Amino acid sequence: MDSEHRLKTLTGYEPRPGHGRATTPLAPVRRLPARRALAVVREPAPPLDGPQIATVLTAILETHDGHRPAAQLEPLVDRALFDRLRTRGRTRSAARHRVRSVRLCAPAEDVVEACARVETGPRTIALATRFERSGGRWRCVRFDLLDPFATAQRLVA
């Protein structure tokens, strides 16, 4: 079987033998509009509510008591508060603090202040906190356990 195979040219798409250009004209080049720089728009963090704050306060109290590693709180708290919790959380205390009620106040658009009633064994103490929104996220910037007995012991000792 001596048959000769030849490739046929695709009409209109490939140049014919002996011609340097394609037979169909190319479509004119259409210029696209110049790209504009896109502004990065961060949506603001949604407002905080009582259950969310109670969850964060519970995590901070667990770190304060030494039952949770401080590294888990780094995205939730201010740098100074994180350093304070990291040094405090190394010693595990027998007392466990439990958040029982939370009251909220919003003195400014990007600020939420909360006070909480915290139980530790048979005693009840107060907790004052402040959350600020920056960079699209909420962070706890103030965390103060208001324990009158601990303060009195510190003053005496």
Write the pLDDT tens digit of every residue in 128-155.
999 999 888 899 999 988 877 776 555 4
Condensed to tens digits (0 to 9), the pLDDT of residues 102-114 reads 999 999 888 999 9
- How many domains are there within the chain? 1
23, part of any domain? no
80, part of any domain? yes
9-18, 53-62, 94-103, 145-154: segment of lowest average pLDDT = 9-18
- Could you tell me which of 83, 56, 80 has the C-alpha nearest to residue 71? 83
91, part of any domain? yes
Whole-prediction pTM: 0.65
121, part of any domain? yes
111, part of any domain? yes
The identity of residue 149, as a single letter, is F
CATH number at residue 126: 3.10.450.50
Beta bridge pairs of residue 21 = none
pLDDT score of 90: 60
133, part of any domain? yes
The range of the structural domain enclosing residue 142 comes to 50-156
